[in-house]
Every structure is written in structure tokens, then in C-alpha cells.
Amino acid sequence: MDIQCVICRSRLGSHLGFFYNCDTLKTYLGLGERR
């Protein structure tokens, strides 16, 4: 699993903060984008 610190943003552009493994986060939120 590739672990990296990324900033996730919603489709509305709201800042969700820093998360590890954003791809996994997107799976749950369904609206995050990796920047």
C-alpha cells in the first residue's frame, strides 16, 4: 500500500485537510480529490 500525505478536497473545493492514503479516503467519502 502506498502511504503518502496528501490534501483532499471535496468537489465543492472545501478543504478536508491532510490525510494518509487519500485513495482510501475517497472510497469512503466518494468526493475527495487527490492534489
Q: Which of the four pLDDT bands, split at 50, 70 and 90, describes residue 25? A: low
Q: Which domain holds residue 15?
A: 5-34
The structural domain count of the chain equals 1
Is 1's pLDDT higher than 50? Answer: no
Res. 6: pLDDT tops 50? yes
- Please tell me the pTM assigned to this model: 0.17
Q: Which residue do the cell numbers 472545501 mark?
A: 14
Q: What is the DSSP string of the chain?
A: ----EEEEE-TT--EEEEEESHHHHHHHHS--EE-
Residue with cell 492514503: 21
Residue 21 binned pLDDT confidence (cut-offs 50, 70, 90): low
pLDDT of residue 35: 47
